[in-house]
Structure 1
Amino acid sequence: MRVSQQGLALIKEHEGLRMDAYLCPAKIWTIGYGHTGGVQRGQRITAGEAERLLLADLQRFEQAVNLGVKVPLTQGQFDALASFAFNVGVGAFRQSTLLRLLNHGDYQGAAKQFDRWVYGGGQVLPGLVNRRADERALFEEAGHAE
């Protein structure tokens, strides 16, 4: 599966567009829509470059969801999981209880796991609370694909 326009919009909304490199809360140089590869202080990009970087980055997270999930998914579920993986990273996604529950067919239990991934630097971050609520809502939107 691939991320839909709805999923892409969710990621863009929560990542935000930054044309100038900045240090994210994890102290990693970031630019565009959450792009971190090879970013340097003082770097500047265009909106078109940010879009291209996002689409290129997204392929890795789509692959992680496609390879990691062993149960049927709706498009909304796939989009929610791709957004989640994009934010937490492939390794954290692969090791998550969310994925383990989902692969055991516990869609409801997996959906509840989104609410646990709201911490940054040991504290609850409002932006992550909002993102996880949106991801969970998208995940639960149309039931599941069984």
Structure 2
Amino acid sequence: MKGRIAVLAVVLLATPVVVMFEGVEQKVYRDPVGIPTACAGETDKEVVAFKQQFSRDECLAVMGASLHAHALAMDKCITRPVERHEAAAVLSWSYNVGTSTACASTLVRLLNEGKPFCQELDRWTFAGGRQLPGLVRRRTAERALCEGRS
């Protein structure tokens, strides 16, 4: 995913998946495990503390900037070329679980070793110690994207 154009292309591919599963909530709320969240799943403390109510345009701008930052962070821990659809699926997933967690995962290790890795997405359906139906649906969509089936 090296290069500015490649990163932007991956962000554009990942955006519909993120919006579909995160939604766009214009006020600060608590996610299913109690984390303060705003807009399209944004948990950055500076954003969430910035204000309690956001316009839709502000939410979309925050999401775009956040996805771009996540893509750049993931680009640093992915050491081999991947297809754009694979990178988009990994970006959507890492946006949800966090880049430090993603970079330390078996999924990224397998990816970097050139081994099959898309099936690892199925393991990331738990939050707060319980399996969440929304995460099951999201990982199914991310895996389909990763495998080029969407």
Q: Distance in 2 between matches of 1:71 and 1:18?
A: 35
Q: How does 1:41-120 map to 2 (within 5 A)?
A: 43-106=52-115, 108=116, 110-120=117-127
User: So what's the TM-score if we normalise by structure 1?
Assistant: 0.89
Q: Distance in 1 between matches of 2:42 and 2:54?
A: 11
Aligned length: 140
Q: Distance in 2 between matches of 1:139 and 1:26?
A: 26
1:141 is paired with a residue of what secondary structure?
coil
Q: Distance in 2 between matches of 1:45 and 1:60?
A: 20
Matching residue's letter, 2:97: V
2:72 is paired with a residue of what secondary structure?
helix
Contact 1:29-1:41 at 8 Å conserved across structures = no
Q: Distance in 2 between matches of 1:65 and 1:42?
A: 28
1:30 is paired with a residue of what secondary structure?
strand
Which residue number in structure 1 is paired with residue 3 of structure 2?
Answer: none
1:84-112 deviations in Å (ceiling 9; x for gaps): 11000011101100000111100x2x111
Contact 1:22-1:41 at 8 Å conserved across structures = no
Q: Distance in 2 between matches of 1:66 and 1:41?
A: 28
Unaligned runs of 5+ in 1: none
Q: Moved runs in structure 1, 4+ residues, more than 4 A?
A: none
Which residue number in structure 1 is paired with residue 139 of structure 2?
Answer: 132
Counting aligned pairs with the same residue, the percent is: 33
2:53 is paired with a residue of what secondary structure?
coil
Q: Distance in 1 between matches of 2:43 and 2:131?
A: 23
Q: Distance in 2 between matches of 1:49 and 1:117?
A: 29
User: So what's the TM-score if we normalise by structure 2?
Assistant: 0.87
Q: Distance in 2 between matches of 1:32 and 1:116?
A: 26
Q: Distance in 2 between matches of 1:48 and 1:15?
A: 16
Q: How large is the RMSD of aligned CA atoms in angstroms? A: 1.7
Q: Distance in 2 between matches of 1:81 and 1:45?
A: 27
